[in-house]
Structure 1
Amino acid sequence: MTNIHRSLILGCSMLALAGCGGDQIASPGTGGDIIINNPETSTPSPTPTPTPTPSVTPANGCPTINSTGGLTDSGTISGDAGDYRVCTLPASFDEDDTLPYIAGLVYAIDGRVDVGTDGGATDTGADSDVTLSIEPGAILYGVTGRSYLVVNRGNQIDAVGEADMPIIFTSRDNVLGLSTDSSDAQWGGVVLLGRAPVSDCRDGVFNKADQAQCEQELEGAATTTLFGGNTPADSSGTMQYFQIRYSGYTLEGGSELQSLTLGGIGSGTTIDHWMSFNSSDDGTEFFGGEVNMKNVVIVGASDDSLDVDTGAQANLQYVIAAQRSNAGDNLIELDSPDGDYATAALPRTNLQVANFTFLERSNANSQALRFRGGAQVSLVNGVIDTDTETCLRIDETVTMDQDPFFASVVADCDASAPFNGGSGVTATEVQTLFDGSADTDSAFTISLMSSFINGSSESAWTAYDPTALSSYFDATDYIGAVADSSDTWYEGWTCDSATLSFGNNTGDCTALPVY
């Protein structure tokens, strides 16, 4: 990886600098001159640290793609890192295409951009079958708040970054260098849609004989955008080693997108090693589908870090979620159709999370976890650092009837109100459920290092074997998302902020990486 601030090769060694004379040497990326004068005494004066200068220069033009209209050369954009060529995406990808990484080039998402057209709830053989591939290091940004990328049913995305060269989805302000550690809602986000089952049919008729007839509609879209079907193993593609920053703009009807919005995606979809930063709504939301994820980092969501509902069947392992100070609601909000629909709308939402570290910092009189609607849940090998907040709230007896499962979960809950209940569930019942589980502790003394790495207290705690819940999970002998200082799965592809810093990574979330 090339550093932003490049060294000048002076053409003679520093030991022989006094004999170089007053040469003029062009500084890379500036087009100007630097005058180096001979010192007048044998003891040189201290050399001031040079002022950093932008190092990115715009690419010469936009690459050629196959889709109708191609890429539009929209000139250049200037930020802290330098100048970039802007290549605006077409409104729709109607052919297989690749967005290559090119130094000094960014891709603009101007409004809604579709990958393929909706192929319907079942594969009739007439799908558009478009795959959008994105190379490691590529940067895509939303031009306006209403800009977002949608991968429609029957189509796929292949966005695979690398540990030291992640793909960045971000906002125009971030490219310009205007975003801060508290910015959010600067563009829409990324949406993946598929044909896996959902529970809430948009026509209000639930538990149909043919699940493929139960479809749901993407919230906030100006045009009808459907997802769902009866293909649990459906694939919407692969996304690995990527960041989604500053997303969550409010669309039509007051609805907001998340960093990553998943509607009815199937278990054939691969998603891992990804980071949500400062989403104005949820870090990610699952509307139905069969969702598997590993190595997830969610920082600074203004609402919930994880929102799971509409019959989603979800397995997540190695999850770090951290709220901004005085921002955010729940770290997990879990829901399923309640009331008369609790037994009629199937599948019932089922969330399983193993090896997680949650940092509750909202101070908004909320709770770290909220379960309701008769959803099913299993949480194992977890650390919840609440900063004196309520740990768990469960609403409705139908949710308690699903036997929420906890094993090897520790937390430093608010001593005065560690648990809460609602709609027929009491706080005492919730506390009895949690503290009566295997190897749990709601009054644990947190010893985390760097806010998310296990310390001595966490390392000494007995772990649960998560493979007992799902074959998707790895067997682990520790609680929390990060076992110790030698466990560095989060390094390289993340970014730092005032909320949470990860060390060896792409730099600050307020700036763009330069390779």
Structure 2
Amino acid sequence: MKLKNILQIASITAISFSLIHCPADSKKDNSAALAALALSSPSATTTVSADITGNTTWKGTVVLDGKTINVTNNSTLTIEAGTKIYGRAGSALFIHKGSKINAVGTATNPIVFTSSKTVGQRAPGDWGGVVIIGGGTNTRTGGQTEGANKTNYGGSGDNTDSSGSLKYVRVEFAGNEVSAGDELNGISSYTVGSGTSYEYVQVHRGLDDGFEFWGGAVTVKYALVTGGMDDDFDMDEGFLGKMQFLIGHKYPTSCGGTASSDPHGMEMDGSHNNGEASTTVTGLTSKPSVANFTLIGAGVTGGAGMRFREGMQGYFTSGLIYGFSKGNYMCNANAGTGQPTSPTVTNVLSETAQTASNTITCTSASLATAISSGSTLAALPITSAGSGTTDNCVFTTKPDYSTAASVGTPSASLKSDTNFNDAFFTDTQYYGGASSTNKWYEGWTEYVAK
């Protein structure tokens, strides 16, 4: 091997080490280290500061240079396995209607979107996040996306539309605040159709919601939200997606807690304005099918496990809810001119101590039954929440989200319920988002709080 190549490798190794092990008192981003990496190996780092209007591939190290990067003109952005994307303050990635993102990592080489700040100094809201705008349906004729880069969405589109795929992807420290109450989410999905899939995706330490869906019917499988500052999963405006194996794990105050006054595990709205009837598709309201989920609240203030309102419907089964100070469920009957708020909830277990805090003003008989007979959890229903509270939130011991043996099992398998007898769903017979034989989150996820 030539000396020049040896020196290049040594330089890259040293710089990469500095990106991971920067001094604790450094409050700057990694700009200098990233620039040095680019000089030592020009092909390894790409700085992006302009919109993408043609098919593009990202690999290696990518820096989003403080701007909203718009993917337009029916372009496809392909991101190779192992790519690291560092978002500087003010950065965000928008995939516009007609364009696609194909970000497919592996369990050993996930794709990571993260803060450009040094490890130990990162925080929720360091950069914007990923926004995908598809061609599906929505209860609005026209809405605008959150954030500074307002973009129109909505209408009666094609709910089988494809905006690409995300697989083995992490989105960390996102949620840049534009103004009070206006932050981007980790992954924002506007009218994203069922031709799009999210599998093995983690949103970690976001300032606002982990995943939020406005209409559409995107399919989601193996999704984890950790240390989020608001809702873990938010479904709105006629969302009709199918979802399985979901885990939401809020961090306690000692590890950052939450920023919102009502940080729910799931917050769900059927329509968009006090249950107003759909102005695009007659009778349209949010009606997802959600199976095998675990929601851990860690006692943070103001949050409920599941909040239903504005004509929300849908099917929810094989779930666990624990640790939410506001109660296991909140259900509001503000259906307005739209559909009634009436979700179908079966085989969902929740915390015994929170029963008195539940509010039921909707028309769901199954939810009333779930509250009266399913509030049986007297202890944390997962194997372990990890070591964050004892090691300064480093999580040297990572969480084990497999359902605790003491929880027991449902009396019948998932697909015995006709609402879930569908090719998308994996047949299971356990409560929660993971089991001792299905620890899908291992090996590619991150938990450190900063």
Tell me which interval the TM-score lies in, with the shorter structure as reference length: 0.7 to 0.9
* Structure 2 Cα separation of the partners of residues 111 and 228 of structure 1: 28
> Which residue, out of 74, 78, 94, partners 1:129?
74
Check if 1:195 corresponds to 2:147: no
Equivalent residue for 2:114? 170
* Structure 1 Cα separation of the partners of residues 49 and 14 of structure 2: 33
Check if 1:384 corresponds to 2:321: yes
Letter in structure 2 aligned against 1:77: L
Equivalent residue for 2:302? 365
Q: Secondary structure at the match of 1:198?
A: coil
Check if 1:107 corresponds to 2:73: no
In the TM superposition, 1:294-313 aligns within 5 A as 294-313=221-240
Question: Taking structure 1 as reference, are residues 415 and 322 closer, same or farther at Cα in structure 2, changes over 3 Å only?
Answer: closer
In the TM superposition, 1:97-246 aligns within 5 A as 97-101=56-60, 105-116=61-72, 128-144=73-89, 146-173=90-117, 176-180=118-122, 183-202=123-142, 216-226=143-153, 228-246=155-173
Q: Following TM superposition, by how much is the alpha carbon of 1:314 offset from its aligned partner in structure 2, in angstroms?
A: 1.9
Identity of counterpart residues, as a percentage? 26
Equivalent residue for 1:501? none
Q: Following TM superposition, by how much is the alpha carbon of 1:232 offset from its aligned partner in structure 2, in angstroms?
A: 1.0
Q: Any conservation in 1 of the 2:275–2:311 contact (CA below 8 Å)?
A: no
Q: Following TM superposition, by how much is the alpha carbon of 1:200 offset from its aligned partner in structure 2, in angstroms?
A: 1.7
* Structure 1 Cα separation of the partners of residues 70 and 377 of structure 2: 47
* Structure 1 Cα separation of the partners of residues 413 and 373 of structure 2: 11
Equivalent residue for 1:414? 353
Question: Taking structure 1 as reference, are residues 229 and 308 closer, same or farther at Cα in structure 2, changes over 3 Å only?
Answer: same
Letter in structure 1 aligned against 2:67: G
Q: Following TM superposition, by how much is the alpha carbon of 1:243 offset from its aligned partner in structure 2, in angstroms?
A: 0.2
* Structure 1 Cα separation of the partners of residues 16 and 228 of structure 2: 32
Question: Taking structure 1 as reference, are residues 439 and 272 closer, same or farther at Cα in structure 2, changes over 3 Å only?
Answer: farther
* Structure 2 Cα separation of the partners of residues 109 and 381 of structure 1: 43
Q: Any conservation in 2 of the 1:388–1:412 contact (CA below 8 Å)?
A: no
Q: Any conservation in 2 of the 1:298–1:320 contact (CA below 8 Å)?
A: yes
Q: Any conservation in 1 of the 2:328–2:350 contact (CA below 8 Å)?
A: yes
Equivalent residue for 2:182? 255
Equivalent residue for 1:29? 10
Question: Taking structure 1 as reference, are residues 227 and 478 closer, same or farther at Cα in structure 2, changes over 3 Å only?
Answer: same
Letter in structure 2 aligned against 1:142: G
Q: Following TM superposition, by how much is the alpha carbon of 1:475 offset from its aligned partner in structure 2, in angstroms?
A: 1.4
Give the TM-score normalised by structure 2. 0.80
Q: Any conservation in 2 of the 1:198–1:287 contact (CA below 8 Å)?
A: yes
Question: More helix per residue: 1 or 2?
Answer: 2
Equivalent residue for 1:41? none
Equivalent residue for 2:344? 405
* Structure 1 Cα separation of the partners of residues 132 and 107 of structure 2: 22
Q: Secondary structure at the match of 1:392?
A: strand
* Structure 2 Cα separation of the partners of residues 376 and 89 of structure 1: 41
> Which residue, out of 344, 361, 369, partners 1:436?
369
In the TM superposition, 1:312-331 aligns within 5 A as 312-326=239-253, 327-328=257-258, 329-331=263-265
Q: Secondary structure at the match of 1:436?
A: helix
Check if 1:450 corresponds to 2:366: no
Q: Following TM superposition, by how much is the alpha carbon of 1:159 offset from its aligned partner in structure 2, in angstroms?
A: 0.6
Equivalent residue for 1:336? 270
Question: Taking structure 1 as reference, are residues 53 and 113 closer, same or farther at Cα in structure 2, changes over 3 Å only?
Answer: closer
Q: Following TM superposition, by how much is the alpha carbon of 1:378 offset from its aligned partner in structure 2, in angstroms?
A: 1.7
Letter in structure 2 aligned against 1:138: T
* Structure 2 Cα separation of the partners of residues 90 and 365 of structure 1: 39
Aligned residues: 400
Letter in structure 1 aligned against 2:10: G
Equivalent residue for 1:491? 442
Q: Following TM superposition, by how much is the alpha carbon of 1:179 offset from its aligned partner in structure 2, in angstroms?
A: 3.0
* Structure 2 Cα separation of the partners of residues 285 and 349 of structure 1: 13
Letter in structure 2 aligned against 1:391: N
Question: Taking structure 1 as reference, are residues 263 and 454 closer, same or farther at Cα in structure 2, changes over 3 Å only?
Answer: same
1:34-89 superposed Cα distances (whole Å, 9 cap, x missing partner) = xxxxxxxxxxxxxxxxxx9765599xxxxxxxxxxxxxxx874389xxx9865211
Q: Following TM superposition, by how much is the alpha carbon of 1:436 offset from its aligned partner in structure 2, in angstroms?
A: 1.9
Question: Taking structure 1 as reference, are residues 403 and 253 closer, same or farther at Cα in structure 2, changes over 3 Å only?
Answer: closer
Q: Following TM superposition, by how much is the alpha carbon of 1:130 offset from its aligned partner in structure 2, in angstroms?
A: 0.8
Q: Following TM superposition, by how much is the alpha carbon of 1:304 offset from its aligned partner in structure 2, in angstroms?
A: 0.6
Q: Any conservation in 2 of the 1:315–1:352 contact (CA below 8 Å)?
A: yes
Equivalent residue for 1:12? none
When structure 1 is superposed on structure 2, of 451-460 and 253-262 the one drifting more is 451-460
Q: Following TM superposition, by how much is the alpha carbon of 1:479 offset from its aligned partner in structure 2, in angstroms?
A: 1.4
Q: Any conservation in 2 of the 1:459–1:483 contact (CA below 8 Å)?
A: no
Q: Secondary structure at the match of 1:165?
A: coil
* Structure 2 Cα separation of the partners of residues 30 and 141 of structure 1: 20
Letter in structure 2 aligned against 1:131: T
Q: Secondary structure at the match of 1:449?
A: strand
Q: Unaligned regions of 5+ residues in structure 1, if any?
A: 1-25, 32-51, 59-73, 117-127, 203-215, 499-509, 511-515
* Structure 1 Cα separation of the partners of residues 322 and 48 of structure 2: 42
Q: Following TM superposition, by how much is the alpha carbon of 1:221 offset from its aligned partner in structure 2, in angstroms?
A: 3.2
Question: Taking structure 1 as reference, are residues 402 and 224 closer, same or farther at Cα in structure 2, changes over 3 Å only?
Answer: closer
Check if 1:469 corresponds to 2:419: yes
Q: Following TM superposition, by how much is the alpha carbon of 1:305 offset from its aligned partner in structure 2, in angstroms?
A: 0.6
In our comparison, the structure showing a higher alpha carbon Rg is 1
* Structure 2 Cα separation of the partners of residues 188 and 371 of structure 1: 27
Letter in structure 2 aligned against 1:395: N
* Structure 2 Cα separation of the partners of residues 55 and 188 of structure 1: 24
* Structure 2 Cα separation of the partners of residues 341 and 460 of structure 1: 39
Question: Taking structure 1 as reference, are residues 131 and 229 closer, same or farther at Cα in structure 2, changes over 3 Å only?
Answer: farther
1:469-496 superposed Cα distances (whole Å, 9 cap, x missing partner) = 2422221111111121x32211122113
Check if 1:91 corresponds to 2:46: no
